[in-house]
Amino acid sequence: MSNQAALIEAARGGSATAFADLVRDYRDGLLRFLLTRASSYADAEDALQDTLINAYRYLHSYDSRWRFSTWLYRIAINNVSRMRPVDTVELGDLRDEKSDPLAHCIAASDRENLWRYASRTLSDEVYAAMWLRYVEDMSVNDIAAVLERSVSWTKINLMRGRQALSEGLGNNATDDKSTAYG
């Protein structure tokens, strides 16, 4: 039995410590993802807290045929979608308590600008698929499960998302089809 499977079983048995160990590696990634879908940092934190509470509460319903991360992200999407609609996220809302927010934004400005442009250009589902693929490094199968879409839909919309971004940014360098299905 893998360490993750052992932690899941212990958490199912009521161990809060095992559950904390289980989700520790996913917290930062979930928060980053929720920041792209929530109206503010506070809303993203609330959605993260709700996600972890729901995951603990409903751990008995987790099906080990799926990756644990896929299950967590599906819960996160459900929680953030119940919140108020996403407005423009201001840089001040993206504060990072571990480092200087301005230095963080300057260091990642090209990437931030790309994701800002993507959030304005792509539909919410296509944006989520792109984020899960290229930031969270999820497989196409896992993305399809998280978004409750087919693998074909996921592949096609990842390709369309890349094309839309490429056209909008005036750059044809993202036409590499090898990343479409990776």
List pLDDT tens digits, range 166-178: 888 775 444 443 3
Categorize the per-residue pLDDT at 136 as very low, low, confident or very high, splitting at 50, 70 and 90. Answer: confident
Nearest to 141 by CA among 60, 73, 48: 73
Percent of the chain with pLDDT over 90: 22
- Look at residue 118 in the predicted model and tell me its pLDDT: 83
Q: Which two three-digit tokens encode residue 135? A: 């930031």
Do 181 and 174 touch, CB atoms closer than 8 A? no
CATH code at 108-182: 1.10.10
Residue extents of the structural domains in the chain: 1-99, 108-182
Average pLDDT, the chain: 79
151-169 and 140-147 are packed helices; what angle lies between their axes, rounded to 10 degrees? 100
Task: Report the 10 Å Cβ neighbour count for 32.
Answer: 14
CA distance 114 to 112: 5
pLDDT in the model for residue 180: 38
DSSP string, 56-116: HHTGGG--TTS-HHHHHHHHHHHHHHTSSPP-PPPGGGG--TTS-HHHHHHHTHHHHHHHH
* 42: nearest Cα among 83, 99, 102, 98: 83
The first and second tokens of residue 57, run together, are 């509460």
Residue 115: per-residue pLDDT: 76
Pick the CATH number of 1-99 from 3.30.200.20, 3.40.50.1000, 4.10.93.10, 1.10.1740.10: 1.10.1740.10
Return d(Cα 131, Cα 12) in angstroms, integer. Answer: 30
Q: Taking the complete model, does pTM exceed 0.85, yes or no?
A: no
Alpha-carbon distance of 59 to 109, in angstroms, equals 38
Ramachandran angles phi, psi of 13, nearest 5°: -80, 0
According to DSSP, residue 122 is labeled S
Q: What is the pLDDT of residues 52-93, one digit of tens each?
A: 999 998 988 888 888 888 899 999 988 888 775 544 444 444
